Amino acid sequence: MKKFLLVLFATVSIFAGCKKDAGTAVNIGTADLVAINHQLKGAWLFPIENQKILDTSGKALVGSQYIASPAMEFDGNAHVTIYRDTHTILKGTYSLSTTNGFIYMDVTYPDGTDINYQLLFADALTLRMISTEPYIYYNGGTPQSAQSVSNVVLKKQTGADVTGNIIRVVVKSDTASYSVAVSVRHTKAAAPADTTILLTSQLDAKGTYTYEFVAKSGDQLTVDVVGDYTKTSFYAFYNGIPMAGNIGYYFQEIKTTTGWTIP
């Protein structure tokens, strides 16, 4: 098993979770962690996080929801830059460890907040990891001990992510159909500045919808999703880093309001 893991590392893949047989010893040493750390070095963008809230028995209290997650850039030497959004950049630290054949990464924020991830898979393009954190769930006003389980997927930065000036909108729903419209307002452009321009729209979309366009500094994004917003979420990225702003929740509709602007 150890040889199998090392072959995976050598081909730029991590499958620490491949340990199926509890009787099989998996020994991951310091050299292995160094190799994994080298693989992590660089920027990981377009974060997509799927979260479930489970009770202590593992029963789902809240079904799968797509929520905001930061992009990260690892320097290969214990330091990580955390991109919460295009306006909020934090400097933290990280460390790798191994327990029972599984590989873990602790990310510590400047305020001391620590998130422990289990690394599931990595190659030259994709990083997958999972975190489990204590959670207080309120059932009719009564607090209940629970845990949040988050699966996070990130993509390795490419040259186009650095220079492309691309806004990418991703709408996701596992269960409901929805309609989506994407618009932009060029706040720094000459006339007709401040005019909202519809770029694209789609009726009765299902699953995942993605749209990209080239943006300019000062552009303000508008995303309007019509459907059950309890089952539908959207992400917006600029050069792979999450965008952020305020959201309006209406009857069977979610829509960006203020913010969502390119620096």
Under the banding of pLDDT at 50, 70 and 90, the label for residue 53 is very high
- What pLDDT was estimated at residue 57? 86
Residues 176 and 111 in one domain: no
Share of the chain above pLDDT 90, in %: 62
State the virtual CA torsion across 174, 171, 43, 160 in degrees, nearest 10: 130
Domain end residue (candidates: 136, 156, 176): 156
Domain end residue (candidates: 137, 156, 175): 156
Q: What pTM did the predictor assign?
A: 0.85
Q: Is the pLDDT of residue 229 over 90?
A: no
CA–CA separation, 249 vs 126, rounded Å? 32
Residues 206 and 86 in one domain: no
Residues 167 and 116 in one domain: no
Residues 186 and 138 in one domain: no
Residues 249 and 121 in one domain: no
Under the banding of pLDDT at 50, 70 and 90, the label for residue 64 is confident
Q: What is the CATH number of the domain that holds 108?
A: 2.40.128
Domain that holds residue 20: 2-156
Total tally of structural domains belonging to the chain: 2
Domain end residue (candidates: 156, 177, 192): 156
Residues 141 and 11 in one domain: yes
Three-state DSSP at 184 gives strand
- Cα distances (angstroms) measured from residue 155 to each of 58, 123, 126: 29, 10, 5
Mean of all residue pLDDT scores within the chain? 86
CB atoms within 10 A of CB 69: 20
The pLDDT tens digits for 116-142 are 999 999 888 999 999 999 999 898 888
Residues 28 and 89 in one domain: yes
Residues 26 and 104 in one domain: yes
Share of the chain above pLDDT 70, in %: 88
Which carries the bigger pLDDT value, residue 241 or residue 19? Answer: 241
Which carries the bigger pLDDT value, residue 9 or residue 241? Answer: 241
